[in-house]
Structure 1
Amino acid sequence: MSRPAILIVTPAFADANNGNWQTAQRWARFLSEDYRVTLAKSWEAGDDQAQPDLLLALHARRSAASVRAWAEKRPGKPLLLVLTGTDLYQDIQSDAAAQASLRAASALVVLNELGLRALPEGLRAKAHVCLQSCAPRQALADKPRRWLRALMVGHLREVKSPQTYFDAAKLLAGRPDIRLDHIGAALEPALGAAALALMQRCPQYRWLGALPHQQTRKRIQAAHVLVHPSRLEGGAHAVIEALCSGTPVLASRVDGNVGLLGEDYLGLFDWNDAAGLADLLRQCRDDPAMLTALRKQADARAALFHPDQEKRRLRAIVAGLLSQTTSLQEGIAP
């Protein structure tokens, strides 16, 4: 008997070097043991590829055309919609296409523990939480003691709030023992220009540009803290990679970050609060107990993001949708 076919639609492919592509690729690997899995940027009814049994779409707005076509041409076939950052916390509030995607989906997935409360109340019953994962790495025990190395991983675009990181670096200009590295492409040229100017003004800030994923993971592992100041997030992979590498996180207090780190996490600062971030960085450098406490909290959360956990949850959601569809087609109550 042929294995069911799943098409994963993701607006981001490998050239985007972002979290959506990593999620799509990882989920394809998790599901390929039991299903025939294909990755594509979109789906249309006239596609030559074999008609899949389930569509798994990332992003409510950017995949809206594929979701609409599926709902019209494949009625009764399951559609699993994964809500990332900008669609969960921005697009579904006002964008008609994103809202239509929510209604058309058989089931929804959010990527952090607080994500359900961003959904319209009437849609929460068909939503699931599926925390993302990454392969764990051994925490490094020999990080330099002469300085604190902070690292931000995020492309230079407004939603990632690099300006907060820039401003914190300026506030720490008199602290050469606090070094701030930054990985990410200048997707907004003005922010790239600001990063270049900041390197001239504050030598302890280094913009490293876009780096391959494995190099980025090594730098996360080597940093004393990861800084994640975003305005909104669905479930940032950089945060997860830090937690699974023994590297504590300093993050903006927004649902997408708190939903990964926990509401009692000590390394949270208000969004757009550069002074609050600078204070936390000083604490991490000047008070060994602070960094130790953050490490303990990070280690306690890390188990939530093990690949086995994500794989088990994803496969259960997909199997449930396919089983329910089969039961309905056979006239059996699910």
Structure 2
Amino acid sequence: MKILLATPEPPASDYGNSVTARRWAGIFRDLGHEVRVCLGHTDGEYDALVALHAGRSADVIRRFAAQRPGAPVVIGLTGTDLYPDFATSGVDPAVLDMADRFVALQSHGVRQLPPRLRPRARVITQSLSTVEARPSRMDCFEVAFLAHVRPVKDPLLPAQAVRLLPADSRIVLTHAGGARDEESERAVAAEAAENPRYHWLGALPRTEALGVLARSRLLVLASQHEGGANVVTEALALGVPVISTRIPGSTGLLGDDYPGYFPVGDAEALAAALYAVEQNRDGFHDVLKERCGALRHLAEPDRERNAWSELWSGLRAEARALHPSPTAPGRRGQQ
């Protein structure tokens, strides 16, 4: 198949949607498909569309459906589609109806869809290929925070939390992630200048950011919403335990009963959790490491590749059932 893969971020950027798009494109090519990754719509005789972000890719989806009626449309659901809900996010219900398949990055994402559309959804967790192990720093207890400086990531909350740590704590927070505007850049730079426990590295190449994560003793996710954060599955792949806000994007990956959650926006609760991990209070660090190790299989590349293979096979089977002639067009998402 010739697949058009649309992303709302520049394909070469280090933002989450672009990272996901590049990985998906590699998987599709491994499966024998031809792929064009683009920002927006590109005219051409494509056999299928995969669109990341139902809201921001809505025009691409409408145009493709109009130009290629019957060709399958797959929508990758992002955090800003799903949460708090589609209506609040401004997602057009008519665009959702155009999808033959939805891909959610964690199991709770499917719950956000209207019941009649849920049978079209597949959960495909993200993966990470092997990354070279890195030794942990010995001069501190390093905690990684990999997030761009955007309000939804609550980027200064972890820095506020480490300010609250007891004097005997050796925790240092390393933040890798770029700022999208000058005001945000000034805010994080000022925090880094005043807070000795907070080191902001700015935007890093992906390999360097993964190196920071690989050497760290813990990952913090402070987001208000996530569709299924790349960095959580990256941490699972690297064996790095996670402390996260209790949001569906994380509970859908780590489990509702995972012990390493704190309330959204609660710096004091985060500080208490960080200190408990550092001190391994009641074996807390060991428990988190064991739980994350048991979930490592979720981040295996073969698992993600096989899930996509099954998705395409299912669409082909449905097309053959509805249109026995091999030259007939596919279907338009009826279940």
TM score, norm. by length of structure 1:
0.91
Aligned to 2:3: 6
Post-superposition CA distance 1:291-333 (Å, at most 9, x none): 1111111110111110000000011112211332243232699
* SS in structure 1 at match of 2:185: helix
- Range that drifts further, 161-170 or 91-100: 91-100
**Cα pair 1:138 1:246 within 8 Å, conserved:** no
In the alignment, which of 35, 38, 41 is matched to residue 40 of structure 1?
A: 38
Aligned residue in 2 for 1:125: 119
The equivalences for 1:1-334 within 5 A come to 4-32=1-29, 33-43=31-41, 47=43, 49=44, 51-90=45-84, 92-95=86-89, 97-137=91-131, 142-144=135-137, 147-172=140-165, 174-175=167-168, 177-287=170-280, 289-330=283-324
Query: In 1, Cα distance between the equivalents of 2:227 and 2:162?
Result: 26
Q: Which runs of 5+ in 2 are unaligned?
A: none
Contact 1:136 1:306 (8 Å CA) reproduced: no
Query: What amino acid is the match of 1:117?
Result: R
Letter in 2 for 1:94: T
- Kept in 1, the 8 Å contact 2:11–2:21? The answer is no
Task: Name the stretch that deviates more: 195-204 or 307-316.
Answer: 195-204
Tell which deviates more after alignment, 311-320 or 91-100: 91-100
Q: Deviations over 1:243-280 (max 9, x none)?
A: 11111111000000111111121211111111111001
Q: CA deviation at 1:148?
A: 1.4
Q: Distance in 2 between matches of 1:113 and 1:68?
A: 27
Q: Verify the 8 A CA contact 2:213 2:235 in the aligned structure 1.
A: yes
Letter matched to residue 173 of structure 2: L
- CA deviations on 1:189-248 (whole Å, 9 max, x unpaired) are 333222222223211111110000111111101001010010000111111111111111
CA pair 108-271 structure 1, distance change in 2 beyond 3 A:
same
CA contact (8 A) 2:280 2:286 kept: no
Q: Secondary structure at the match of 1:86?
A: helix
Aligned CA-pair RMSD: 2.1
CA contact (8 A) 2:233 2:298 kept: no
Structure 1 gap segments, 5+ residues each: none
Assess, with a 3 A threshold, how the Cα gap between structure 1 residues 118 and 91 changes in structure 2: closer, same or farther. closer
Residues 202 and 94 of structure 1: CA distance in aligned 2, closer, same or farther (over 3 Å): closer
Paired residues in the alignment total: 326
Shift of 1:19: 1.8
Given the superposition, is the C-alpha separation of residues 97 and 205 from structure 1 closer, same or farther in structure 2, using an over 3 Å criterion? closer
Contact 1:173/1:204 (<8 A) preserved: no
Distance 2:92 2:162 in 1: 37
- SS of the aligned residue for 1:7 comes to strand
* TM-score, L = length of structure 2: 0.91
Alpha-carbon distance in 2 for matches of 1:103, 1:189: 39
Distance 1:83 1:132 in 2: 13
Q: CA deviation at 1:162?
A: 1.1
CA-CA distance at 1:91 after TM superposition:
6.3
Contact 2:158 2:222 in 1 (8 A): yes
SS where residue 114 of structure 1 aligns? helix
Q: What amino acid maps onto 1:7 in structure 2?
A: L
Deviates more, 1:71-80 or 1:306-315: 71-80
